[in-house]
Amino acid sequence: MDRRHFIVGSAMVAAGAALASSLGLSKARAAAPQGTKQAPGYYRTKVGSIEIVALSDGGMTLGDELMLKTDAETLAAAREKNFIKAGKEFPAY
């Protein structure tokens, strides 16, 4: 980027900011409607007056090759502790 493009770009940003303030554009102040029901893929809970929504974008499984810095004995113990059959991959949801 050369000096001329920098100056033109800076001027455009300044003009855009001045135009936005003169038109009265500001942040949106509308509150999102709070949900009342659970739905698949969403988990809603309240923390004080704020509603928290956790979204599930799907799941996958993790093979042993993705478990770094561990050995087969540790993985077998983890499977047994979490009721995962031998040879099955670890779920990641």
CA torsion 35-37-38-44 (nearest 10°) is 40
Query: Length of the chain in residues, anyone?
Result: 93
pLDDT of residue 34: 65
pLDDT of residue 90: 92
Residue 39 CA to its chain's centroid (Å): 18
Average pLDDT over residues 72-87: 94
At residue 11 the predicted structure's pLDDT band, cuts being 50, 70 and 90, is: confident
Residue 9 has pLDDT above 70, yes or no: yes
Q: What is the mean pLDDT of the chain?
A: 83
31 vs 67, higher pLDDT? 67
Q: Which of 26, 27, 44 shows the shortest CA–CA distance to 35?
A: 44
Average pLDDT over residues 19-36: 65
